[in-house]
A and B are shown apart, each in its own frame.
Chain A
Amino acid sequence: MTDLQQRHQHLQKRYAAERRFKAYGLAAIIFALGFLAIMLVTITVSAIPAFTQTYIKLNVEFDQKVIDKSGERNVVEMRKSDFQKIIRQGIYDLFPEVTKRKAKKKLKTLLSSEAGYHISSALLSGDKPDLGFIDTKREIWVKSSDDVDSFIKGFINRDIDEDKRRIKDNQITWIDQLQADGRLERRFNWDFFIFADSRSPEDAGIRGAVVGSFFTLLITLVLSFPLGVLAAVYLEEFSKPSKITDFIEVNINNLAAVPSIVFGLLGLALFLNFFNMPRSAPLVGGMVLSLMTLPTIIITTRAALKSVPPSIREAALGIGASKMQTILHHVLPLAMPGALTGAIIGMARALGETAPLLMIGMVAFIVDIPQGVTDPATVLPVQIYIWADSPERAFQAKMSAAILVLLFFLVVMNAIAVMLRRRYERRW
């Protein structure tokens, strides 16, 4: 009896151990996925403010004396004039009681310092803009400064000490009054997608980085895809087992595992210093990334070539196709979806790559949207890194929003890869 009891107890213990073991496994997965979820939610939540921007409604007098001093209606000259001044005047007019210089200075910082520039480029766009606004008084919406924006979004607490916040007491009064008058509005921040980087958070956008990423990936694809496919075909179909082939294969496998920053060192030493290629250019970035992507493409293409059954090769050879014709007409087209999938996965990885691009100088502060592959540019992940270094609170939201955009592109690319695989996956 006791023997049986002992056995039973022992068994119970073993089962308890079993349940614990299983629970550890589940806990591990939950931890990993939970971390992923928390990270994504945190980023999404902190990105939300970046998608809106506060605007202030002003009644602006377009004084000819300021915006067209010569009176000649010369558009080119007018573009150079001080629109910020008339906009400043617009907010002074709203608060005539503010007269002291110091207070006026605080008042004007409610407005974005680039507001005048945007108004002038909106009004004076094209060769023959309608100049009817001169010497009229119009109601316009202008961007607020990022501090006002942060205050409206609730990131600046009005209850703490005045010295500790970026918005002062008198500014709070004005903002409250503007809000009461219906002169404040939060709008969807299209500029985030249209503008390039800027020192002022309210004007910083990701278009420059997106275009830079596009050019960089274009170079990467153009270089690595043909090279990778040709190399894969050679290794899989033509090379005979030899020391050289082994050496090439070992090389490819090792390249796939070399830290990305080492590729950055290669790019810096070889492309920039030895070949004197332009710094910060998508051309060089793309070249570095294509060397990193090459192993991925070669490995996936080889797997795809391997999966084409030998009977197809035999069929073509049997009719008298040469080896090259067999491969180019039959084997390679069948392996193409696999090769493309590999290319997309490689491109997705290249899109998220940061460190090697920092090394070749794609980290510069660039306000222009690049027009070609040799223009200085930055890329999305580097833009995120740059903003992470900025002190302004508003950049943190921008950065999260940029991460969301980056993740969106990655999701799209991976979805295409999965679709390609599903659609063309053949069971022989």
Chain B
Amino acid sequence: MSYLTLLIILFGLIVAGYQIGQRRAKAVKPKLNSKLPEHKLHSLPGFHGAYVALWCGIPSFILMFVWLFLEPNILSLLLEKQLGEQISGMADGKVELLKSSIRRAAENSQFPVDTALLAVVESYKNIQNQANIAGMVLIVSAAIIGLLISQRNIAQRFMARHKVEYIFAVIMLLSSLVAVLTTFGVVVSLVFETIRFFDHVSVSEFLFGLHWSPQIALRADQVASSGSFGAVPIFAGTLLITFIAMLIAVPIGLFSAIYMSEYASPKFRNIAKPLLEILAGIPTVVYGFFAALSVAPLMRGWGFELGLEISSESALAAGLVMGVMIIPFVSSLSDDVINAVPQTMRDGSYALGATRGETIKLVLLPAALPGIVSSVLLATSRAIGETMIVVMAAGLAANLTANPFQAVTTVTVQILTLLVGDQEFDSPKTLAAFALGFVLFIITLGLNILALKVVNKYREKYD
């Protein structure tokens, strides 16, 4: 008996519940001609049907999910009880291994197990079957009981519509709580792992240490197996690349926005604006590809001609490409805020004989400054959190340098390289990734909140 069968049975019961509810409601509809509400059916038969169906479905589905989580645990307990003295004194890991091989043997008769265990496997199969049937009976009877009880409520003045709508509203509320749960999940998982990381490495070493080499020795008993986790070079690298990116994105984005909103003809604007926005829609892995395989070799070549030593994975190439990616984030928000400056301010400036450029520099930009600042903050947060460009173009070397021609590494690159492919989950190496993630989360969150505050203040000024 599988969950599919169960689902089909439940679905059938729900449909039956709907039909029964509807029929019963139709049957209690005696005085159709009376205008008085007391004599009419309060809710449409369909609502009565839905009421019964919901009562049939919701408890049984909740029960099913609970069972889904409980069943393996119950089975595992029963199995341990059965193995009894066989496992007394065994290490936890070995017990788990034994249990999992018994489980697999129960699933698949081809699976080779110790013949001594065959009896256990057989009885485990039995227990499993019984548990399965018990769960099934429990869930189906919950559905039937729900159906029977709820259909008794159906009466002329029974407010089925209110009940059904209430349940719907609750479902909607729960959906909107998913966003909160996600934030909660992010914070909890980051905090939890970060605390575990700080069991191994002190906070001050992590935040102020100058050396980053998270390599772990192969054997746990080796000397100095913990690597070193001074994250300053990573933070510095992140800042360097972000700085280069903003150096590109802010002037270009701002000038684009100014040109779009003040100089461009509507026709030019209609074409150029969506084109600029394409830059934001291109997947970052594409930028990473371009940075690593086209821009970086090109820069290396130019650097060579100029007598400069540019590393093939330079901060410059990654920062430049990232800057281009960020341009639309600066330009479209700045464009909006410049447009939002009231026309009267422009008129006032023109009336004094100022040129367009002077009006922009002396009137519009100061007025739009808070909005522009917040767009820059948002773009910075984007740049700090960007992963693929730096992974593909910036490299892994944790150099503490301000030289843009050298390879540096960033927070996101380290998170990725520390975790990808790694199965072990307790080593300081993997935990370090969560600590870095936590730092990243706090910084981007701070920037976003700051940006929102700035822009809200600005709104108040003009509303």
Q: Do A and B bind each other?
A: yes
Residues of A at the B interface (CB closer than 8 Å) are 14-15, 17-18, 21-22, 24-29, 31-33, 35-36, 39, 42-43, 226-228, 230-235, 238-239, 247-248, 251-255, 257-266, 268-270, 273-274, 291, 294-295, 298, 322-324, 348-349, 351-355, 358-359, 361, 363, 381-382, 384-385, 388, 396, 399-400, 403, 406-407, 410, 414
B448 touches A257 (CB 8 A): yes
Residues of A within 8 A of B433 (CB): 265
The answer, yes or no, to whether B420 is at the interface (CB within 8 Å) is yes
**Cross-chain contact B385 with A262 (CB below 8 angstroms):** yes
A43 in contact with B182 given A21-B357, A238-B169 (CB within 8 Å): no
- Taking CB atoms, residues of chain A closer than 8 Å to B355 are 14-15, 17-18
Q: Which one, A234, A247, A259, contacts B387 given CB within 8 A?
A: A259
B289 adjacent to A403 (CB under 8 Å): yes
- Assuming the A-B contacts A231-B176, A265-B437, are A358 and B420 also in contact, with contact meaning beta carbons closer than 8 angstroms in the complex? yes
A27 touches B255 (CB 8 A): yes
Give the dominant DSSP class at A's interface: helix
Residue from the list B169, B175, B391, B440 in contact with A231, Cβ < 8 A: B175
Closest chain A residue to B184, Cβ basis: A251
Taking CB atoms, residues of chain A closer than 8 Å to B259 are 22, 25-26, 28-29
Residues of B within 8 A of A273 (CB): 425
A353, B283: Cα distance in complex, Å: 7
Interchain CA distance A255-B185 in the complex, whole Å: 12
When C-beta atoms are compared, the residue in chain B nearest to A20 turns out to be B357
Q: Which bracket fits the contact residues of B?
A: 35 or more
Number of A-B contacts (CB under 8 A): 247
Which B residues are CB-close (under 8 A) to A39? 286-287, 290, 294
Tell me how far the C-beta of B460 lies from the nearest C-beta in chain A, rounded to whole angstroms: 17
Q: How far is the CA of A258 from the CA of B186 in the complex (A)?
A: 10
A257 touching B416 in the complex, CB below 8 Å, given contacts A18-B356, A269-B434: no
**Residues in chain B near residue A227, CB distance under 8 A:** 175, 178
Contacts of A261 in B (CB 8 A): 385, 387, 412, 415-416, 437, 440
For A268, the chain B residues whose CB sits under 8 A away are 419
Contact B445 A258 (CB under 8 A): yes
Query: In the complex, what distance in Å separates the CA atom of A252 from the CA atom of B294?
Result: 38
- Chain B residues lying within 8 Å of A26, measured Cβ to Cβ, are 259, 263
Q: Is B452 an interface residue (CB 8 A)?
A: yes
With contact pairs A15-B355, A28-B255 given, residues A262 and B440 touching in the complex (Cβ less than 8 Å): yes
Residue pair A29, B272 in contact (C-beta under 8 Å): yes
Q: Which of B189, B192, B286, B293 has the most CB of A within 10 A?
A: B286
- Closest Cβ of chain B: how far from A23's Cβ, in Å? 9
Complex Cα distance, B360 from A22, in Å, reads 11
**Is B177 an interface residue when CB atoms closer than 8 A count as contact?**
yes
- Residues of B near A226 (CB, < 8 A) are 175
Judge whether A42 and B285 touch: CB under 8 Å: no
8 Å CB contact of A234 from B175, B185, B286: B175
In the bound complex, residues from chain A placing their C-beta under 8 Å from that of B293 are 388, 396
Chain A proximity mask over B318-329: 1 for CB below 8 Å, otherwise 0: 000000100100
Are B412 and A254 closer than 8 Å at their CB atoms? no
A258 surroundings in chain B (CB, below 8 A): 186, 385, 441, 444-445
Residue of A nearest to B276 (CB): A32
Given contacts A25-B258, A388-B289, contact A294 B279 (CB under 8 A): no
Tell me which residues across on chain A come within 8 A of B169, comparing CB atoms: 234, 238, 324
Contact B189 A29 (CB under 8 A): no
Q: Are A259 and B384 in contact (CB under 8 A)?
A: yes
Q: Does B180 contact A (CB under 8 A)?
A: yes
Q: Chain B nearest CB: distance from A279 CB in Å?
A: 9
Task: Give B250 Cβ to nearest chain A Cβ, in Å.
Answer: 11
- Whether B285 pairs with A384 at a CB distance below 8 angstroms is yes
Q: How far is the CA of A291 from the CA of B176 in the complex (A)?
A: 12
Task: Tell me the bound Cα distance from A304 to B62 in angstroms.
Answer: 33
* Known pairs A255-B182, A270-B185, A384-B289 / 19 extra A-B pairs, C-beta < 8 Å: A22-B263, A29-B272, A36-B275, A43-B289, A231-B178, A260-B385, A262-B444, A263-B186, A269-B193, A348-B281, A349-B281, A355-B388, A355-B412, A358-B416, A359-B415, A382-B285, A403-B285, A403-B289, A410-B283
A262 — which chain B residues lie within 8 A by C-beta? 186, 190, 385, 437, 440-441, 444
Instruction: Say if the beta carbon of B345 comes within 8 Å of chain A.
Output: no
User: Are A247 and B180 interface neighbours, CB within 8 A?
Assistant: yes
| Contacts known (A259-B386, A269-B434, A270-B189); A359 close to B419, Cβ less than 8 A | yes
| With A248-B176, A294-B179 as contacts: A324 and B415 at CB distance below 8 Å | no
Which single residue of chain A is at the shortest CB-CB distance from B172?
A: A234
A-B contact pairs, 21 of them (CB 8 A): A18-B356, A21-B356, A21-B361, A27-B255, A33-B272, A35-B324, A39-B294, A230-B176, A234-B175, A251-B182, A254-B445, A265-B437, A274-B189, A294-B178, A298-B179, A348-B281, A353-B283, A361-B420, A361-B421, A388-B288, A410-B283
The verdict on B171 contacting chain A, using a C-beta distance below 8 Å, is yes
Complex interface: chain B residues within 8 A of A382 (CB)? 285
Contact B252 A31 (CB under 8 A): yes
Complex alpha-carbon distance, A273 and B433, angstroms: 15
State how many angstroms separate the Cβ of A290 from the closest Cβ of chain B.
9
Q: Given the complex of chains A and B, what is the CA–CA distance between A322 and B284 in angstroms?
A: 47
Within 8 A of A (CB), among B66-81: none
B264-291 interface bits toward A, Cβ cutoff 8 Å, 1 = contact, 0 = none = 0000000010011011011111111110
Instruction: Return B101 CB to nearest CB of chain A, in Å.
Output: 18
B96 within 8 A of A: no
Residue pair B420, A359 in contact (C-beta under 8 Å): yes
Are B440 and A251 in touch, CB under 8 angstroms? no
Given contacts A18-B355, A251-B179, A358-B416, contact A363 B421 (CB under 8 A): yes
Give the distance to chain A from B397, nearest Cβ to Cβ, in Å. 17
Asked whether A230 lies within 8 Å of B251 as measured between CB atoms, the reply is no
- For B177, the chain A residues whose CB sits under 8 A away are 248
**Are B387's CB and A255's CB within 8 A?**
no
- Contact for B448 among A232, A254, A381, CB less than 8 A: A254
A309 to chain B, nearest CB (A): 22
